[in-house]
Amino acid sequence: MRIDLHAHTTASDGTYEPAELVGMAEAAGLSVVAITDHDGTAGWSEARRALRYGHEAGVWSTIQNVVPGIEISCKIHDIGMHMLGYMFDPWNAELEAALADIRDSRTHRAEAMVGKARELGAPITWERVQEIAAGGVVGRPHVATALVEAGVVASVDDAFGPDWLGEGGRVRVDKNDMDPFRAIELIRAAGGVTVMAHPMAWRRGPVVDDKDIAAFAEAGMTGIEMNHPDHGPKERDRIRALAKDLGLLTTGSSDWHGSRKLTGLGAETTDPEVYEELVARSTGMKPF
Ligand code: AMP
Ligand code: ZN
Ligand code: FE
Ligand code: FE
């Protein structure tokens, strides 16, 4: 069983549609894939439909389940971080409202980033960024694509550099990130489980202290992402030890974004026993 628990679609900043994710998971030989778009669950129903129709038509031979998930934008002590949530009830009113707030702030922020870029002479427009986001939850990668299209930078990676959208960048604008303890509580109240995403991805900027991670575990977080493209052997060893100390499950995931990032779907995977445990501990929406 090959299981990848972190993938993005056009419902946020991935480049393939939710139905295509299911096809790509089949092509990658995965048995289970999680759909974990940023701050929204709009991709779930299409992925579920694609899985079901494919099973009815007999076109899938390896993919068995799609896990409903999300990656919530959080912040603690002014450090940005991501909390994955799985198998929760998406209609939980408090959770729905909190996520709608983050999406709202993302829209205003993206528009503000376009304004700043234009002030610096970059010929990009808010209309074009909205077109690129195509109705999905808008984020920096969409602004990055617009900057590449306009010839301002050579690549999405360059757009994420310190001159533009990266740490300390001139067009960087904050969004309303959630308190991670609130994310843990909201997902738990909706019957789901939480896993801290890429906790030691130094490349992206400052990371959260071990003692904060311990507090998340204390607050009911279930797991921590260990095998991730942004973690080298040292980070993986540290996370394994920390997880053992704190009684956290460890997952492995590609954090696939389609063609916006280089990592292939299924490049990192989660142990079947860990997956079964996550399923067993959730009481919200079961895998499709
Ligand atoms: P946002 O949530 O709008 O702040 O945008 C963060 C997203 O940008 C995350 O999903 C990252 O995966 C993505 N990202 C960060 N750095 C890069 C990069 N160098 N190239 C492509 N995507 C990136
Ligand atoms: Zn992303
Ligand atoms: Fe993330
Ligand atoms: Fe992600």
* Atom number in ligand 1 closest to CA 257: 12
pLDDT digits (tens, 9 = 90+) for 73-131: 999 999 999 999 999 999 999 999 999 999 999 999 999 999 999 999 999 999 999 99
Question: Is pLDDT of 205 > 90?
Answer: no
Residues constituting the chain: 288
Whether 38 contacts 12, CB under 8 Å: yes
The Cβ-side half-sphere exposure at 221, using a 13 Å CA radius, reads: 26
The residue whose CA has the least distance to atom 23 of ligand 1 is 141
3-state secondary structure 178-195: ECHHHHHHHHHHCCCEEE
- In short, whether 6's Cβ falls inside 6 Å of ligand 1 is no
**The model's pTM:** 0.96
What pLDDT, on the 0 to 100 scale, is given for residue 167?
Answer: 85
pLDDT (0 to 100) of residue 48:
98
Residue to mutate (ligand 1; options 36, 73, 105, 140; most atoms within 8 A of CB): 140
Which of 10, 13, 38, 106 should be mutated for ligand 1, with most atoms under 8 A from CB? 13
Environment of ion ligand 4 (residues, CB < 5 A): 71, 255
Confidence of residue 6 (pLDDT cuts 50, 70, 90): very high
Integer Cα distance of 260 and 47 in angstroms: 20
User: Which structure tokens are listed for 128?
Assistant: 């074009």
Q: Which two tokens stand for residue 139?
A: 């984020």
Return d(Cα 48, Cα 187) in angstroms, integer.
20
Residue 183 and residue 200: Cα distance in Å, rounded?
A: 19
pLDDT at residue 260 greater than cutoff 90:
no
